[in-house]
Structure 1
Amino acid sequence: MRRLQLETRTELMAPASKVFDFVSDHTNAPRWQSGIDEVRRITPGPIGVGTEHELTRRFAGMKVTARNRFIAYDPGRFVAFEIPSGRMTGVASYLVEPTGPDTCRLVSTVDFQVTGLARYAVPLLTVIFKRDDKKALATLKILMEHS
């Protein structure tokens, strides 16, 4: 087993509440994260701790279906979710911090454990994650600042 850990920060010219509402609703992920084909909420009710999603994504040439579950939720500010099974398991989160009345900072973290043969590719997977994250944040910036 090897760990893949990343943290990215981006400044957005959009209200924190708008950014949080968008990124914490994982059904929006295909709109801003390349490689994610579909996200479906599989639990009823409002978003919060216990909310689960099933997602299909393309990553490093593979099509992967996974589930995630919200393990922390502070409305308007913070959401953390776990991916409990698969070749990559672990926790990711979004923290949205207001920096002004209509500006904010998004802090995105990933802390995954990689098992099986994929563990040997963690350096390459890290490069791919960073590249994909950079594109996703650029798309998010456009969606949040120009809508």
Structure 2
Amino acid sequence: MSRDVEFSNQVTVRRTPADVFAFLSDFTQLPRWNYAITSTRQVTPGPVGLGSEFRQVRSIPTTSEESFEVTAWDPVRRLAITGDFGPFSGTLSYELEAVTGGTTLVNHVRLSPHGVLGLAAGLAGSRLKAAVAENLEVLRRGLENGF
């Protein structure tokens, strides 16, 4: 029996919601702030938006190629992707809110483990949340300091 992993992380970035959304929605930039991703490329033509599809190479926990699709697109407010992420499938969403001096970014994660990992998913949840929090901190610092 598999067990979903769900968590949220939040960070405040000293940049406008438009700046944060523009960077987040350029998925080719993922390797700059997500240590587990080595490359990401768009596989559908045209500008990024609802329904755009991507392939990426993950190096952790093992090297694998995965795909995801943009499933929510509300410029400057909300962005979500659904697909395969390592040994999981699920949805990652980003909600942006203007605050004094910048943007609060909330990342919601819901993942379903594949195969036997389901038995250990509860244990993996806290480690995943911490890893995602580290990535968001790299994103924050990069956006504030111009990558």
Same fold (TM over 0.5): yes
Give 1:64 shift. Answer: 2.3
Checking the alignment, whether the CA contact within 8 Å between 1:80 and 1:93 is kept in structure 2 is yes
Give 1:99 shift. Answer: 0.7
Aligned to 2:69: 69
Summarize deviations over 1:48-103 as a string: whole Å, max 9, x none: 111011011123x3222110001110112111111169841121111111113x40
Q: Distance in 2 between matches of 1:20 and 1:39?
A: 17
Which ranges of structure 2 fall in alignment gaps of 5 or more residues? none
Checking the alignment, whether the CA contact within 8 Å between 2:87 and 2:117 is kept in structure 1 is yes
Checking the alignment, whether the CA contact within 8 Å between 1:82 and 1:90 is kept in structure 2 is yes
Which ranges of structure 1 fall in alignment gaps of 5 or more residues? none
Checking the alignment, whether the CA contact within 8 Å between 1:33 and 1:132 is kept in structure 2 is no
Aligned to 1:104: 103
Aligned to 2:134: 135
Is 1:27 paired with 2:24?
no
Q: Which amino acid aligns with 2:30?
A: A
Cα RMSD for the two superposed structures: 1.7
Q: Which amino acid aligns with 2:131?
A: D
Identity level (%): 28
Greater mean alpha carbon deviation, residues 20-29 or residues 77-86:
77-86
Aligned to 2:58: 57
Aligned to 2:120: 121
